[in-house]
Amino acid sequence: MMNMRTFLVFTFVCVATKAQILSRNNYIQKQLLCTLDRAPCDHLGSQIRDALPEIIGNNCKSCDQRQTANAKRIAVFVQSKYPDVWNALVKKYSRLE
């Protein structure tokens, strides 16, 4: 289960991405590659990676209404800006093990 702090960090990254970090595509790409284990993770990337099994793999079942809305907004952003990464994230984190 994802804790609130992790989810809030994930939400912050995505909201910030939508605002002023958009011009820093390398930063976004670094975080996304981290979640796919294709690049080293910083602290933030590790927190995002840890949240994805709940968000993608468990369809955010333990998320509250606000968390679910934020997760959907984030998913739409990644799907539209980085569709190949989104497909890889879904493949990686949808696995039932």
Q: Residue 87: give its domain's CATH number.
A: 1.10.2080
Mean pLDDT of 20-34: 74
The answer to the question of residue 37 being in a domain is yes
Q: What end-to-end distance do the CA atoms of the chain give, in Å? A: 15
Work out how many domains the chain is built from and give that number.
Answer: 1
97 part of a folded domain? no
pLDDT of residue 4 exceeding 60? no
What CA–CA distance (Å, rounded) separates 49 from 34? Answer: 7
Over the stretch 38-91, which tens digit does the pLDDT of each residue have? 999 998 888 888 888 888 888 888 888 888 888 888 888 889 988 999 999 999
What integer pLDDT is reported at residue 2 of this predicted model? 52
Q: In Å, what is the CA distance from 77 to each residue of 72, 82, 97?
A: 9, 8, 27
* Residue 26: per-residue pLDDT: 81
